[in-house]
Chains A and B, each alone.
Chain A
Amino acid sequence: MHISDGVLPTSVTLAGFALTFAGAALSLKQVRAEDLPRIAVVTSSFFVASLIHLPFGPTSVHLLLPGIVGALLGPVSFLSITLGLFLQSILFQFGGLTALGANAMMMGLPAVFCGLLFRLLRGKTLKMHTIAGGLAGGLGTLLSAVILAALLFTAGEDFLGVAKLALLAHLPVVCIEAGVSAFIISFLFRVKPELLNPGGFPRHDR
């Protein structure tokens, strides 16, 4: 779920922008010049992944994958998610331009947190990786939904109902997200485990 323009009070949108700039600047500090093209690649592959819809009963949901971004990129995931959301906003109008800061906080903070959680929980075995991946994936979406509800609530008491509904609507997505994330991590562990190593992604040896 992306918050559109005109919902949040101006003070909240401006604070969101300030925090997002700070977060992105912190992320950017950890990035070396030669990493830029690779972060672009991760960002666009997650952008594409979020366009794919999975059937859920009569309707369909699309995945957000903040947990997986965090697991693959670590702290840099905040930057990646901010860029992805900016592009989604300007290409599709998913999430408004003025709400971009708030949206980036909503998705970026859970990604960074779940990345840390994943690093802590995963052991050496496939089973532990799968469980940690599922937890990170589900928790990432759940935290995003909680932040979304909190942001909507800052817009006034009129939005309490919407905030509750949005939180409720995310619960099935959390389950699907946890399942798919677990399978993604288990696939990556078996096929290309170096993607899950600390440092995010393989370095060039030049």
Chain B
Amino acid sequence: MTGNLEIYLSGAVFGVILGAFLLVFAAVLLIVRKKPGVRFQGATADWTLPALDAYADRSSFFHGWDPRVKIATIFFYCFAVASLKSLLWSAMALCIGIVAVIACRIPLRRTVKRLGAMAGFLAMFLFVVPFTSPLRQGEILLYLPFLHGIPFHGHGFAVALRIVLKACAIGLMMEPLLATAALPVTLQALSRLGIPDSISQMLLLTHRYIFVFLHETKRIYRSMRVRGFRPKTDIATMHSMGNFFGMLFVRSFDRTQRVYDAMLSRGYNGSFPSFTHFATTRKDWCKALLWAMIGLALIWLDRFRGYSTW
């Protein structure tokens, strides 16, 4: 094919690039290293649950925003970012996300952890798409040593990078969206926005039960380990884990009966009383207008230049 810029990397250059990459990676690992929290010896899962609204009582641009307007606006903004097509404006959206997180005065460590959860999925794109995307006219091809058969496609890399930028840009917006109001308030706002009341009730209950069952799970798992259970890749492990999950479900169901009876005896009639009053002021609408304009401006600038990956 003609018109492609083909670059052949020598072993030495490739080695230097790989070395630099590994150094950066090691540095990042050192910075975000996990503190030893509640973890089981030998269990690979992180069993700790983040408290979503731990910083809901601060005050900032986002904290003071009427939750109904805030949710609707940021939801719209997230879709605007998701539909960006160019690298430049996706990077700009990421910068806006960083500014928003700083503006809502939430510790950065929390946000880094949130973005870290996507690392595996996004790394798969970064490493696979450049090598497997189809050949295009006029793109940069990088031939790595030992891998002459499968060149590194410049266009594929741009596509993967765009996804990483957009995913992080939207992931960052979750903090201003969810962490700047108490969860019951957020859910109340959701039901005012048209989500059925029963759904937001179930979400509230589910969120509450997750912590209860996590505790239960830890208890069962601890007693399994005390009795000598060590997970391996074999049928015996599957059998033990099957019984473990089965027991978890049985206990959860038993617990429900008691919890539900207790709720009924305290006057539960299918809905929780709400003491949240929402009031929308002109300031809320101004914030909504500002944020929606940012989203629309991003799309307009993105499309204005015509379609291009860069």
CB-CB nearest in chain A for B201: A36
Choose among A6, A166, A201 the residue with the greatest number of B CB atoms under 10 Å from its CB: A6
By size class, the interface of chain B is 35 or more
| Partner among A5, A41, A44, A191 whose Cβ is within 8 Å of the Cβ of B170 | A5
Given A36-B201, A60-B44, A96-B167, decide whether A157 and B122 contact each other with a Cβ distance below 8 A: no
**Of B101-109, B241-249, B275-283, the one with at least 4 CB within 8 A of chain A:** B241-249
Q: Which of A45-71 contact B (CB under 8 A)?
A: 45, 47-49, 51-57, 60, 62-63, 65, 68
Is B206 in contact with A201, judged by CB distance below 8 angstroms?
no
Residues of B within 8 A of A63 (CB): 245
| Partner among B45, B117, B206, B252 whose Cβ is within 8 Å of the Cβ of A93 | B117
| Partner among A5, A49, A201 whose Cβ is within 8 Å of the Cβ of B171 | A5
Is B247 in contact with A56, judged by CB distance below 8 angstroms?
no
0/1 interface trace, chain B 76-110, chain A, CB 8 Å (1 if under): 00110111100000100000000000000000000
Is A28 in contact with B129, judged by CB distance below 8 angstroms?
no
Residues of A within 8 A of B47 (CB): 51
Is A6 in contact with B166, judged by CB distance below 8 angstroms?
yes
Is A28 in contact with B171, judged by CB distance below 8 angstroms?
no
Q: Which of A20-55 contact B (CB under 8 A)?
A: 24, 28, 31, 33-34, 36-45, 47-49, 51-55
Is A13 in contact with B253, judged by CB distance below 8 angstroms?
no
Q: Which of A80-105 contact B (CB under 8 A)?
A: 83-84, 86-87, 90-94, 96-98
Q: In whole angstroms, how far apart are the Cα atoms of A180 and B213 in the complex?
A: 20
Is A28 in contact with B198, judged by CB distance below 8 angstroms?
yes
Question: Is B58 close to A, CB under 8 A?
Answer: no
Is B117 in contact with A94, judged by CB distance below 8 angstroms?
yes
Q: In whole angstroms, how far apart are the Cα atoms of A91 and B183 in the complex?
A: 11
Q: Closest 10 A-B residue pairs measured CB to CB?
A: A183-B242, A161-B132, A6-B166, A187-B246, A40-B205, A44-B209, A5-B170, A10-B83, A179-B238, A158-B133
CB-CB nearest in chain B for A49: B245
Q: In whole angstroms, how far apart are the Cα atoms of A83 and B187 in the complex?
A: 12
Q: Which of A166-206 contact B (CB under 8 A)?
A: 166, 176, 179-184, 186-188, 191-192, 195, 201-202, 204
Residues of A within 8 A of B131 (CB): 161
**Of B9-17, B23-31, B61-69, B227-235, the one with at least 4 CB within 8 A of chain A:** B227-235
Residues in chain B within 8 A of chain A (CB atoms): 43-47, 49-50, 52, 75, 78-79, 81-84, 90, 114-115, 117-118, 121-122, 124-125, 128-129, 131-134, 155-156, 159, 162-167, 169-171, 174, 177-178, 196, 198-199, 201-203, 205-207, 209-210, 212-214, 216-217, 221, 231-233, 235, 237-239, 241-250, 252-253, 255-257, 259-261, 263, 270
Choose among A44, A45, A84, A159 the residue with the greatest number of B CB atoms under 10 Å from its CB: A45
Q: In whole angstroms, how far apart are the Cα atoms of A54 and B156 in the complex?
A: 33
Is B246 in contact with A188, judged by CB distance below 8 angstroms?
yes
| Partner among A83, A91, A187 whose Cβ is within 8 Å of the Cβ of B199 | A83
Is B217 in contact with A195, judged by CB distance below 8 angstroms?
no
Given A97-B75, A159-B129, A176-B238, decide whether A36 and B205 contact each other with a Cβ distance below 8 A: yes
